[in-house]
Structure 1
Amino acid sequence: MTSDAGTQLYLELLKKTILFEIWLEHEGGNATPTNRWEGLDWPNIAHSMIGRLRMNQLHEAMDTVLREGIPGDFIETGVWRGGACIFMRGFLKAHGMNNRRVFVADSFEGLPVPDPQYPIDATSTFHTQDFLRVSLPEVKNNFRKYGLLDRQVTFLKGWFKDTLPVAPITQLAIARLDGDMYSSTMDSLNNLYPKLSIGGFLIVDDYSIGYCAAAVHDFRAIHNITDPIIPIDITGIYWRKTK
């Protein structure tokens, strides 16, 4: 087996493990191969709810960053149990890349109460959903289970409006946003997009949620961003920064 083949085999197994695909029959609820593929269920056990299509797109984005030499670190804003960030770190380790970091940004206390500054979020009830609250120790322990908790992983604990403006980030190659709400999405875009490299990937997990989509379109309009939005599945989208 070649080194490249071994790397791809490891990363494929890592995806299967993070998404709990191998043991799906033990998940319960509405976990089916189709729902897990499309990220339509909220897993009882798996470390990510983004599903296989969005995980594959993240993999393809990182492959492109590596192949094209696009500079910068990786970040996800809104990490739940940490699965997508675990995969980011696994990708870097599998490729022997020691010059990039993975930033793991979350309140680790669930989603915020709607901010009156953003009236569109007024009807959001995400802050009442205990299932979305995953503590920092639990996420760190999930990284540890894969042998991927190390100095290339930086945790940013707190609300995005507080942590992202002062985060020790200089340049990004991938920014993956999973904040659900208008406020969380806009805070991420305002603070991270200026640091995204040309050719870098801006990935939005929750585009099907009205609050999130509104923030995306408002930000793109304000900054005259015309790079085409590319759908991943029924909720995820991305575009590549060209200017």
Structure 2
Amino acid sequence: MPENKPLPDDLRDRYLDLVKRSLTGALSEDNDSILGGVRMLGAKGIKKRTANAVAKVAGKLDLEIAYKKPYDPVARESGLDWPARAESMIGLKRMTNIQDCIAAVIADGVPGDLIETGVWRGGAVIFMKANLVAWGDTTRKVWVADSFEGLPPPDASRFPADKGDELHTQTGLAVGLETVKNNFRRYDLLDDDVEFLVGWFKDTLPVAPLGDIAVMRLDGDMYESTIQAIEVLYPKLSPGGFCIIDDFGSHATQAGQAVHDYRDKNGITEPIIQIDEFGAFWRKSL
């Protein structure tokens, strides 16, 4: 697809609908439960640990053991389930929110790049790039920020809200850099305007060569990951730009509290709009 010519409105909508349905697994109705798959990796329960052990044996024989589960379109709409194979677990509503925010900044001429902090398999940032291609916008970069090692152990002494957090034990959340790059390639969306920031946010974001930001999407789950990202990125967000928090509702005492603390400290009063049970966003005043 040429990147310097916008698609007609009807084709753009159809292309983006197809991409987001593919990225979320809605297109293939991806709802298999795979033995030793992403839902089980790092689990502590004896049943799931046993399943992981069996899966390892099967994997040595190049076999995959899975059982079919009924696909629930309502759950996939709001990202309430966890697709086994898809590139994103955020669901269709949060994907559409990305689409709407990008359309608005393009229509209003809001300057700046797009960034997501915490990308898993890359679905949301792949969709960001797809939107730019569909609009023929070659002026913006897409920044892909992740440790590519999963989440950090909680630092409860500095961030008490994260005390007892065990997300770092969920090894299914750790997706390597080359896997994410390959996912971009599979959609023919990897080019020089996709930039990768590899490492913990506290190390990469303060020194990243970021200029203006038009859309920032934070998906770090934890208080630590969220506050470290928003403190660096929000001052770079252009007036008219969007701040999206993937875990605002699902991790209200961690990511959600970090957002409230930052907004209170900095006198941010723009209304927060809920996307679904998990995500929320607001638009920085023009």
Normalising by structure 2, we get a TM-score of: 0.82
Query: 1:27 deviation in Å?
Result: 3.3
Percent identical pairs in the alignment equals: 51
Over the aligned positions, Cα root-mean-square deviation in angstroms equals 1.3
1:216 to 250, 254, 259: 259
Amino acid in structure 2 at the alignment position of 1:125: E
Asked if residue 68 in structure 1 is aligned to residue 111 in structure 2, the reply is: no
SS in structure 2 at match of 1:194: helix
Q: How far off its partner does 1:12 sit?
A: 1.0
**Structure 1 segments unaligned to the other structure (5+ residues):** none
Partner of 1:198: 239
Match in the other structure for 1:81: 121
* Corresponding residue number in structure 2 for 1:232: 275
Alignment map for 1:149-168 (pairs within 5 Å): 149-168=190-209
Task: Tell me which of 212, 215, 226 is aligned to 1:185.
Answer: 226
Partner of 1:42: 82
| 1:4 aligned partner, one-letter code | D
CA distance in 1, matches of 2:30, 2:278: 25
Distance 1:30 1:105, change over 3 A: farther
Gaps of 5+ in 2: 1-6, 34-68
Change in 2 beyond 3 A, CA 1:184/1:25:
closer
Q: Return the offset for 1:136.
A: 0.4
Once the 2 structures are TM-superposed, how far is the Cα of residue 148 of structure 1 from its aligned partner? 0.5
In the other structure, the counterpart of 2:164 is: 123
What are the Cα deviations for residues 91-130 of structure 1, in whole angstroms up to 9, with x where unaligned?
1111111110000000000000111311211111000001
Deviation track 1:2-26 (CA, whole Å, cap 9, x = no partner) reads 8221122111111111112121155
- Structure 1: how far apart are the matches of 2:146 and 2:134? 25
| Alignment partners' CA distance in 2, 1:30 and 1:199 | 41
Q: Given the alignment of the two structures, is residue 100 of structure 1 paired with residue 105 of structure 2, yes or no?
A: no
Q: 1:119 to 1:26 in 2, by over 3 A?
A: closer
Sort the Cα spacing of 1:170 and 1:159 in 2 relative to 1 into closer, same or farther, 3 A. same
Give the secondary-structure state (helix, strand or coil) at the position aligned to 1:174.
strand
Q: Which has the higher helix share?
A: 1
Higher-Rg member (1/2): 2
Is the 1:31–1:41 Cα contact (8 Å) retained in structure 2?
no
Q: Deviations over 1:177-227 (max 9, x none)?
A: 000000000001100000000010000000121211110110001001111
Give the corresponding residue for 2:59: none
Equivalent in the alignment of 2:94: 54
Q: For 2:88, give the aligned amino acid.
A: S
Change (3 A) 1:211 1:31: farther
For 1:15, give the aligned amino acid. Answer: K
From 178, 188, 194, the counterpart of 1:147: 188
Question: Conserved in 2, the CA contact under 8 Å of 1:30 and 1:41?
Answer: no
Aligned mates of 1:125, 1:170 — CA distance in 2: 34
How far apart in 2 are the matches of 1:165 and 1:57? 27
Equivalenced residues, count: 242
